[in-house]
Structure 1
Amino acid sequence: MTLLRDHETQATPPTRKKRLFLRSFAVIAALAIFWAIAGIFLYVAPPADEPQHADVLFVLGPPDQRIGYAEQLMQQGYSPTVAVSSPIGKDGKFEASICTAQRPYRIICFNPDPFTTQGEARALKNLSEQYGWKSANVLTAQFHVTRARVIISRCYGGDLHMVAQHRSLPLVSLSRPTSSWAYQYLYQTAAFVKVAIHPDC
């Protein structure tokens, strides 16, 4: 009987550890599934707006594929002015090629300080006051739309339309890790935490 008790006593802790491990794994798996599903609505196919006729087409940086889509919208006459967020190169000039282009519409390039979505939101507020803009189509990549809407709404009180430039990204990319859904899920989620911590304009 003593040996049986000893055996039962020794077998109990591993069993409890196993149950705890399985429960922890189930919780983590459930959170991962929830995060993956939520990400579809936040990053992959977020609620975006159709472009409207507005005072400005405001293009968030960096000036990449979204510039091509911005030019399409300008050619369709959605706005008389396009404002492009662009870094400045070592030569002191804007890196976005559209900044030196000749177009039938006004092109305004600016370098936000800081070069973040928050800096761009402040720039939209200041430029709107300077040029009298009352409405804006804000263009960015679809995985950035939801977070950008929150940040820009804190600074800009005009008629706002968040327009998505859609991209097809691989789930994971070893050659270009930042151009993958895995990276965007991690980056955008971490950035959302920052937005929650710093709720000001």
Structure 2
Amino acid sequence: MTTSSSSGIGTARPRRRIVAWLLPGRRGRRLALALGSTILLIAIAGLPVFVFPPPGDPGDASLVYVIGPPQQERLDLARTLRDADRPVPLLISVSDSGTGHGEARFDAAALDVCRRRGVTCETPDPFTTAGESRLLDRYDATHESGKTVVVTFTPHVARTRYIFAKCSAADVTVVGVDTDLTLFDWVFQYAYQSAAFVKAWLTPCP
């Protein structure tokens, strides 16, 4: 009896150790599967918002408005929109003099386009998308613009439409320029734009 009992206990202990070793692996796999599924759902849900927003209609615009930072891709698209039918006025949101975005400078003094005829470069207050909507209203008060094409980059299109609809009385359509983004950049944009959407929803217009 004593020998049989000892043998049973000795056999059970390795089995318990094996089961205990396997269970964390199973839990880890389940956790990884749940995390992967959540990330995939977020990525899919964000496609029509950040990656493939509905295109705006830039036709019949009386003003083209490049919001900041006025990177070259946005300025190139604005030039194309202006040359498509007629040289409509161009409004550009620029940063304060001497400040930039990363290593590049986007103040009026650094942009040759700001010295061309038909181009107005101004700094919004505050220097945010909501501040840029306010700048457009100020511009419209003296220039009586009609339809305005707002140029930004693709991940920012949906939030720009929401903020301008909320904070501006102008007739606005928003178009986005495609920019080469890495996978890390897209992850950052998903997180940043989502948080900024919540902030825009909670924050009153300036």
* TM-score interval for Structure 1 and Structure 2 normalised by the shorter chain: 0.7 to 0.9
Give the TM-score of the pair, scaled to structure 1.
0.79
User: Which structure has greater helix proportion?
Assistant: 2
Aligned residue pairs, count: 188
Q: Which 10-residue stretch deviates more, 52-61 or 89-98? A: 89-98
Deviation of 1:2 (Å): 1.6
Does 1:110 pair with 2:117?
no
2:152 — aligned with what?
140
1:192 — aligned with what?
194
2:166 — aligned with what?
154
Report SS of the residue matched to 2:110. coil
Residues 86 and 8 of structure 1: CA distance in aligned 2, closer, same or farther (over 3 Å): same
Give the whole-Å Cα distance in 2 for the aligned partners of 1:185 and 1:128: 36
Residues 15 and 31 of structure 1: CA distance in aligned 2, closer, same or farther (over 3 Å): same
Residues 198 and 13 of structure 1: CA distance in aligned 2, closer, same or farther (over 3 Å): farther
Query: Is this contact kept in 1: 2:136–2:170, CA < 8 A?
Result: no
Residues 25 and 69 of structure 1: CA distance in aligned 2, closer, same or farther (over 3 Å): same
Q: Where in structure 1 are there 5+ consecutive unaligned residues?
A: 170-178
- Bigger Rg, structure 1 or 2: 2
Give the whole-Å Cα distance in 2 for the aligned partners of 1:113 and 1:38: 33
Alignment of 1:168-179 (within 5 A): 169=180, 179=181
Write the deviation string for residues 120-150 of structure 1: whole angstroms up to 9, x where unpaired: 1222233333433343211112222122222
1:33 — aligned with what?
40
Residues 40 and 160 of structure 1: CA distance in aligned 2, closer, same or farther (over 3 Å): same
Query: Is this contact kept in 2: 1:55–1:79, CA < 8 A?
Result: no
Query: Sequence identity of aligned pairs in percent?
Result: 22
Of 95, 105, 112, 1:87 maps to 95
Q: Where in structure 2 are there 5+ consecutive unaligned residues?
A: 1-7, 100-106
Deviation of 1:51 (Å): 0.6
1:14 — aligned with what?
21
Q: Letter of the aligned partner of 2:162 in structure 1?
A: V
Does 1:49 pair with 2:56?
yes
Deviation of 1:30 (Å): 1.4
Alignment of 1:126-137 (within 5 A): 126-137=138-149
Deviation of 1:113 (Å): 2.3
Q: Which 10-residue stretch deviates more, 66-75 or 108-117? A: 108-117
2:83 — aligned with what?
75
Deviation of 1:181 (Å): 4.5
Query: Is this contact kept in 1: 2:63–2:88, CA < 8 A?
Result: yes
Give the whole-Å Cα distance in 2 for the aligned partners of 1:192 and 1:71: 30
Q: Letter of the aligned partner of 2:174 in structure 1?
A: M
2:67 — aligned with what?
60
Give the TM-score of the pair, scaled to structure 2.
0.77
